[in-house]
Structure 1
């Protein structure tokens, strides 16, 4: 393309780390929007584009100031769009041009002006050309370029074109290549290129010198190796055939023989020892093998701790360390009993020893702070086993479990093998803490690596990548902990036995505070037992008004806060001892941070009492219904979830379908706006268990019959009036008891769950199991179902107030069943 054919303004395609010279045909890959836009503009116009290099290749969105002033004007020969959105362009470089007046619109464009230069010719040019060819041949004689590239460059008749191709193919810096592009005069360009070739020639000479030195050093090390081997033979002969006592490889051999390894494992280890024996002690590979053999010899291949199989002693240890957690303790004692019977059968020869050593894999699930991690340590203590905790929270690499292969620098075994080495026995209790918080990345999924570890059928041949040999994990007792079991992969969950930890009730927290937290905080804060005492009322108020949690971590922090403030008063001589009562808590901790709900003061129309469950305990809530003149419709407020809104709609449908039986005004139902509100609007609420409370509140408001303030209810209702079971009954009932509720309405199918509530806590409560919403209304409304089915006046306010209808109920104070 002659210079006169160049447009004045052309699209600009910035490139990074390369320079293209005139007469070249080159592929250019474009992935940035600014480059793709320029290519599209060029194709839509004269098919001329400016290729110019960036000053800084790290700039992703370059402007004119980020580009060099001189580039190459090119004809676009072909453009191909790739499926991944990138564009490949084939261009023919035409001329050196100077760019100015950069403008950024849909793409970058600039005004261009060809660089003027010339070729003087004569003797000087011939001399420069000959020098260029000779230096180029010298530089590429060491194989710097392929034979095809050298032949192509030498065949160029135009010396300027030859200089450009040399600059393009040799490994010069970007600044040097750009400088050659900016020189239009051929003689000047060749002189600059000769200078660069001289520098390259010097660099190659230094490289050759370094290679010679390295080869000489290698030959020297090889010679020393042979001399050392000869010295070994000479010393062996001098000592009558005995090898040198201090030989490192032989020391490892002696240790490995003492381990009693299986033939397959020993064969692999012996191979590494033989490699070490043949290697120079100072070689880098020798250090790697030495570290590996150290790991092998320090693993407890046959070391075991003897299990204490006394069930009574184990029960005493568990009771000393933890209050409550009866299901967990029972499971541990069951394990001990089974292990004891297996051992007795093995001693009689009825089963193999391998059957005795197999351990269960438990996973403790529950909210934070309920003792999942600490109970594992108590289990190890009761069994007489070593205890190792492996924190898996945030682990994202498979090598955390399986280890790194020895080919990597800094390779080491995975956490499982590290834990076994730390324990010093092959049958410890290993706690896999926070197994639900494992991550995954491009480096692998650690939860998948745990599948082999936690599978009793596979873990007797667990192979760590670093060790490269099988290690038996079948005798290890694995215990995992998790806050959210649904986040554990199904395949991993299938290999574990789930034991649920429920949140502590207030009475359990009180006992834990008195037995464990208070004494521990006194020691940590330098206090003696007689210097500070907490009354039961103070601890109860601390639990109910200053903490709201499933476990006891915050409770211990609050006790520690009080202890520190008392310690300060004692240290300054203000007091000698302090008795902390419930009235003095505000002095140390300020105003209460939580205020539990209490039962209503009186029976009210349209206000019923429900119950709810959270991971930090149960409580009551009120459902309020108001009937207002309007065009009909249902308004729901209180930040209710979808399921709770559906319960309200189901309650309204149930009321409409039973309007005639309950003597409800049909016009009032159809032409009034019904507003159902659940207070504490800032707290999201969800779940179906408020169905009964919503139906009671709605029908109370429509009929004018008050709902009883001493009755709380939980259960899911259907359109046909069935009362279905729910979860979390224990926590809900305890929350209602704390609020002063005396009567509990629950689904009939939840009646067995009442046995989970401690006997002394349900002594003062009456439970009403119900199968239908009619039975719920019979208990929840003043006057019961009879008052609801009795015709009332037009206003719906003439309610016969009488004692609730007698019905069959269950008093759980004496454990009787209905």
Structure 2
């Protein structure tokens, strides 16, 4: 689901930050998310307390991708996990009067309990909240079950997207939210981590198109041409009409809002999270447009190949269907004329004569007659024809 972005919406300097795992939100795109992490749920609990349902769209959230840490090699992880760490229950970290972060003994905890996240030399989870383990709400086993560590600020991407809250609903184990991307954000610094992340950010607005910038104008022309070819291919694939209409309307304004067109198209094509991150990071249009053209060209190539394969398969199926239909018509005409086919019919007669000469038991003969009727209706080229023919020969 996509909508035009609106950079004119005021973006606060400080926004609540929602870490986004395995997904990238671009301006102008509306996405639905299931919120079930303990480090994100408090944000939406507060929003429910602070906003009326009709004012939810006034709530601006900074949505930032999170880089997945590289899992440790099994031998190194085993060595680190086996180390035992003393509890520090008597230390106070000064945060809301809570006891200091407990460095949990890990002698009996496997690497999988931490989802492969890196561990420090003393065996605790890497991150500012090292040693704390955050269970997934609704995960298996509330007491032990599936656990994941809190988000390490060092893993949060430095470019994100300001999002307007479109819908917020309670769900089993958390919330279902719908967010609309508005404008790119640069993460200056994280100013709070509990009960949820808050950050100091700077909006990264697209600059107005300079008609005297020949390089940019050439890129826009190339983008328009490539985009039209892409939409044309989508039409042949019978994409839903509302999506096509929206894309075509945006393409009409590619000369005025090329950045928004790129973001919209990138949410339409098949691409990896890394490629979407590349587009998100490209705040400069002269950097973003060439990358988008490259990805669009690849998608066009894939669509053309898919269409060619589809047409070839459909053509072969239609040809076989026509042949089968004609064979049936010819057989019916010959039957009306009292004529016999010297080819396939002779073969059928030979099989029938062999079955008769075999003097089969009644139940076996009944099965053979049934398979003979099926065989007469099939094309000799089909695989099932060969199977039945071999079965009858075996009888």
- Whether TM exceeds 0.5 here: the answer is yes
How far 1:250 moved relative to its partner?
A: 8.2
How far 1:279 moved relative to its partner?
A: 2.9
Q: Distance in 1 between matches of 2:356 and 2:243?
A: 57
Alignment of 1:105-124 (within 5 A): 105-115=194-204, 118-123=207-212, 124=214
1:139 to 218, 225, 230: 230
2:313 to 214, 230, 241: 214
Residues 259 and 55 (structure 1 numbering): CA distance in 2 closer, same or farther, change over 3 Å? farther
Q: Which runs of 5+ in 1 are unaligned?
A: 299-818
- Report if aligned partners of 2:19, 2:156 keep a CA contact under 8 Å in 1: no
How far 1:81 moved relative to its partner?
A: 1.1
1:166 to 233, 254, 265: 265
How far 1:122 moved relative to its partner?
A: 0.9
2:61 to 49, 59, 78: 49
- Report if aligned partners of 1:12, 1:52 keep a CA contact under 8 Å in 2: yes
- 1:99 equivalent in alignment to 2:176: no
Post-superposition CA distance 1:246-278 (Å, at most 9, x none)? 64x98789989634379xxx59x8655533443
Post-superposition CA distance 1:175-209 (Å, at most 9, x none)? 22221111112232222211222222222222233
SS for the counterpart of 1:91 is: strand
Q: Distance in 2 between matches of 1:256 and 1:121?
A: 92
- Report if aligned partners of 2:269, 2:296 keep a CA contact under 8 Å in 1: no
Alignment of 1:353-502 (within 5 A): none
Residues 93 and 205 (structure 1 numbering): CA distance in 2 closer, same or farther, change over 3 Å? closer
SS for the counterpart of 2:302 is: helix
Residues 225 and 5 (structure 1 numbering): CA distance in 2 closer, same or farther, change over 3 Å? closer
SS for the counterpart of 1:155 is: helix
Task: Give the equivalent residue in structure 2 for 1:192.
Answer: 291
- Report if aligned partners of 1:13, 1:38 keep a CA contact under 8 Å in 2: no
- 1:8 equivalent in alignment to 2:111: no
Q: Distance in 1 between matches of 2:193 and 2:275?
A: 28
Q: Distance in 2 between matches of 1:261 and 1:244?
A: 18
Task: Give the equivalent residue in structure 2 for 1:30.
Answer: 35
How far 1:222 moved relative to its partner?
A: 6.0
- Report if aligned partners of 1:96, 1:114 keep a CA contact under 8 Å in 2: yes
Post-superposition CA distance 1:405-451 (Å, at most 9, x none)? xxxxxxxxxxxxxxxxxxxxxxxxxxxxxxxxxxxxxxxxxxxxxxx
Q: Distance in 2 between matches of 1:288 and 1:37?
A: 63
- Report if aligned partners of 2:14, 2:198 keep a CA contact under 8 Å in 1: no
Q: Which has the higher contact order (CA 8 A, sep 6+)?
A: 2
Q: Distance in 1 between matches of 2:297 and 2:195?
A: 45
Task: Give the equivalent residue in structure 2 for 1:434.
Answer: none
Post-superposition CA distance 1:108-138 (Å, at most 9, x none)? 5554343365344115344433432332221
Q: Which runs of 5+ in 2 are unaligned?
A: 1-6, 51-57, 72-114, 116-135, 137-147
- Report if aligned partners of 2:24, 2:277 keep a CA contact under 8 Å in 1: yes
SS for the counterpart of 2:267 is: helix
Q: Distance in 1 between matches of 2:294 and 2:315?
A: 32
Rg larger for = 1
SS for the counterpart of 1:197 is: helix
Task: Give the equivalent residue in structure 2 for 1:21.
Answer: 26
2:382 to 283, 299, 305: 283
Residues 79 and 290 (structure 1 numbering): CA distance in 2 closer, same or farther, change over 3 Å? farther
Q: Distance in 2 between matches of 1:250 and 1:52?
A: 77
SS for the counterpart of 2:361 is: helix
Post-superposition CA distance 1:538-572 (Å, at most 9, x none)? xxxxxxxxxxxxxxxxxxxxxxxxxxxxxxxxxxx
Q: Distance in 2 between matches of 1:101 and 1:32?
A: 22
How far 1:244 moved relative to its partner?
A: 5.0
2:245 to 134, 141, 151: 151
Residues 213 and 100 (structure 1 numbering): CA distance in 2 closer, same or farther, change over 3 Å? same
- Report if aligned partners of 2:15, 2:60 keep a CA contact under 8 Å in 1: no
Q: Distance in 1 between matches of 2:315 and 2:218?
A: 41
Question: What's the RMSD between the two structures over aligned residues?
Answer: 4.6
How far 1:71 moved relative to its partner?
A: 1.7
How far 1:91 moved relative to its partner?
A: 2.7
Task: Give the equivalent residue in structure 1 for 2:158.
Answer: 69
Post-superposition CA distance 1:215-243 (Å, at most 9, x none)? 45446656887899999x9x96559x754
- Report if aligned partners of 1:236, 1:243 keep a CA contact under 8 Å in 2: no
- Report if aligned partners of 2:206, 2:259 keep a CA contact under 8 Å in 1: no
Alignment of 1:631-670 (within 5 A): none
SS for the counterpart of 2:13 is: coil
Residues 285 and 128 (structure 1 numbering): CA distance in 2 closer, same or farther, change over 3 Å? farther
SS for the counterpart of 2:292 is: helix
